Amino acid sequence: MRWLAPAKINLSLRIQGRREDGFHELRSLMVPVSVFDEINLEAKESGDLEFFCNAPDVPVDDSNLVVRAARLFCASCGILPQLRIVLTKEIPHGAGLGGGSSDAATTLLALDALYQTGLSREALAELGAELGSDVPFFVYQSAAWISGRGEHVAPFNGLASVPILLVKPPFGISTPWAFQNWKDSQPVPGVPYGEQECSAGTLVNDLERPVFQKYLFLADLKQWLIAQPEVEGALMTGSGSTLFAVLREKEAGYALGERLGKEFGTQLWVYLCETMP
């Protein structure tokens, strides 16, 4: 069975405060985008779970979210994990694009189809919440409002598909670090943090403040993107380090990508895609 695991962007991310359990209370509008990891999964007649991945920096032991998702699903359904799973990565790591969470959620969906267990989305999302805060979102395969620490998902159908240019520098950002430094962070002078209205909706991300304070390159990149005539709005997704630009026309993304390389160097990962609400 071949399954595609999409990335996501946060069109809006607001932090309501810190929870008693140490997590932060969130309200975020998240939407899948058309860049995918690929998961190939098949049952074996005997033996334990086998897992392979093309990315050398991705662990292939029981710490991997795909392996954890497979073992959790099988344990909850009373099934022996006699599986062979091959993950082909396209979504970069530490990017704020939810690649690992999407892989885990897609594994749960694939196993439900493979074993014909007929679990509801709600049941699969509950399993996903044991794996990570973003996993329940990907189970629903839809744009959605997210609340709590990420476990509450309300699918949202009011968005249009829009062209997006994803831009990631050659470094990642720790999500726990970004949240831990949110409260005491200060805005970088001259950098726009306020709400932006565009065809994708209202763009805003509270985590830009701590991330931009430490990584001035990202602040400069956002300002540059907003100033380009092809761009309606630009924002960091999640805790970064990826920024996305909402484009007026998808074809304009090619020329914009070339200018990005000339302006900021060829170390950037640039990907032209669109939202899949």
- Tell me the C-alpha distance between 129 and 138, whole Å: 11
> Of 37, 103, 112, 134, which is the active-site residue?
134
- Tell me the C-alpha distance between 225 and 83, whole Å: 44
Per-residue b/e over 220-250, b at no fewer than 16 CB within 10 Å? ebbebbbebebbbbbbbbbbbbbbbbbbeee
CA torsion 188-202-149-76 (nearest 10°) is -130
222 catalytically annotated: no
As to burial, measured by CB atoms within 10 angstroms (0-12 exposed, 13-18 middle, 19+ buried), residue 115 is: middle
250 catalytically annotated: no
How many residues does this entry show for the chain?
A: 277
Helix 99-115 to helix 121-129 angle (10° resolution) is 130
Helix 216-226 to helix 252-264 angle (10° resolution) is 140
Tokens encoding 120: 């509801």
* Sign of the alpha-carbon torsion through 21, 125, 12, 216: positive
Residues catalogued as catalytic: 8, 134
